[in-house]
Structures are given as structure tokens and as C-alpha cells.
Amino acid sequence: MVKATTTQQDWVDAAYSAFLADGLAAVRVEPLARVLGATKGSFYWHFADRAALVGAVVERWEAQETDAVIALAEAGGTPAQRLEALFGAVARMRRTPATALLYTQAAAEGVGDAVRRVSQRRVDYLAGLLVELGHGPDEARRRSLVALATVLGLQQLEHVGLDALDDPGLVPTALAMVLAEPLSRP
């Protein structure tokens, strides 16, 4: 039995695949219509415009990010173990163009809010760990912000051809930088 109609889900599924492969810019109505064997007119029955589809894609991304953070938090262990697990996950993450592209595309595509919420959640989780490890709340927040920025920046460098994530000594270095005691400045 062949599917009779193209559902809203079909559009989001196809758009999400395109997003994972090539970022939000790849979420385009006409090419997706070709992939789905539908017309653009069909798309505009299910969605108000392209922005609505982009919104649905980012909503799905946000939900999966939230699940991932919760899974990390529930994995348990000591704060130090959870920090190790977090850095391990980051080290394994590597080349996912979608995420590397997302932050700069977010504002232009009108989904900056969702990306900001996800970022905040990540910073909060890491800051919680650092507080458990004995840092003060302000210092913990700053270090977490810097750590997230580092991960995002390394993905960008990777994306531009600097094989930053290949260096096996880099993640330990970053870990040390996040954990280290603050220096008194000269």
C-alpha cells in the first residue's frame, strides 16, 4: 500500500535530514518537494511559510538536545565522573556540521531563542558540576560559558579545515583549563 498523501511529518522528517547534513540553509521548499515527490503548493497547505518549517526543525533539535542533557544528568556517578563523561561525549561528537552552522544561522533564520535556551541549559548543567567540585557560583558560570564557547569554536575551526579535534591531547588540555584554580593576575 503506497502512501496516499504527504503529511506534515513527512516534510519535517525530510527537512530535519537536510538540516543534519547541511545546516538550516539546506531546508528549502522546492528541493524538498522534489525529494518527496510533491509540489510546492502541497507544502503551503501544511505550513504557513518556510520559516514555519525551519521552526519545526529547530524544535525537534531542541527536544533532542534536552533529552541528551537529561540522559547525561541521570547517568549519575561523582561530579568528577560526570564531567569526564561530558568531555568524552564532546570529544566523540566531532564533525556534525549542523550544530557548527546553527549558531550563526540562528539569528538570520529567526530561531535564536531556541538556540539560546539550549545554550543556557548546557551552561547551567556544567556550572552545577563545577559548583559540586568546589568552585564558587560566579566562577563556575564563567568557566562553563568559556567551556561551551570553546566547544563551539573548535567545531568552527574544524569546519574551516583546522583539524583541531583530531589532536588527542586537546580535550585533556581543555579539561584542565576548565578545572584549574583561578590565577591571581600579575
Q: Between residues 30 and 167, which has the closer beta carbon with respect to DNA?
A: 30
**18: how many CB neighbours lie within 10 A of its CB?**
20
Q: Which of 66, 94, 108, 137 binds a copy of itself (CB under 8 A)?
A: 108
C-alpha cell of 128? 552545577
Q: Does 4 bind a copy of itself (CB under 8 A)?
A: no
Q: Which residues contact 122 (CB under 8 A, 6 or more apart)?
A: 69, 144, 148
Among 29-37, 46-54, 66-74, 169-177, which window interacts with a copy of itself (CB under 8 A)? 169-177
CB atoms within 10 A of CB 136: 11
Which residue in the set 13, 17, 20, 29 belongs to the binding site for DNA (CB under 7 A)? 29
- Give the range of 39-47, 108-116, 120-128, 157-165 binding DNA by CB under 7 A: 39-47
117 binds DNA (CB under 7 A): no
- Note whether 58 and 115 are within 8 A (CB): yes
The dihedrals phi and psi of 137, each to the nearest 5 degrees, come to: -60, -40
Per-residue contact flags (x/-) with a copy of itself for residues 70 to 89, judged by CB under 8 A: ----------x---------
d(Cα 136, Cα 184) in Å, to the nearest integer? 15
Q: Which of 22, 35, 39, 68 binds DNA (CB under 7 A)?
A: 39
Q: Which stretch binds a copy of itself (CB under 8 A): 27-35, 49-57, 58-66, 100-108?
A: 100-108
Q: How far is the CB of 175 from a copy of itself (least distance, A)?
A: 7
Q: Does 49 help bind a copy of itself (rule: CB under 8 A)?
A: no
Q: Where are the alpha helices (DSSP H) in the chain?
A: 8-22, 29-36, 40-46, 50-74, 79-93, 97-109, 112-132, 137-159, 170-179
Q: Is 116 near a copy of itself (CB under 8 A)?
A: yes
User: CB under 8 Å to 145, separation ≥6 — which residues?
Assistant: 123
Interface residues with DNA (CB under 7 A) are: 5-6, 28-31, 38-46, 48-51
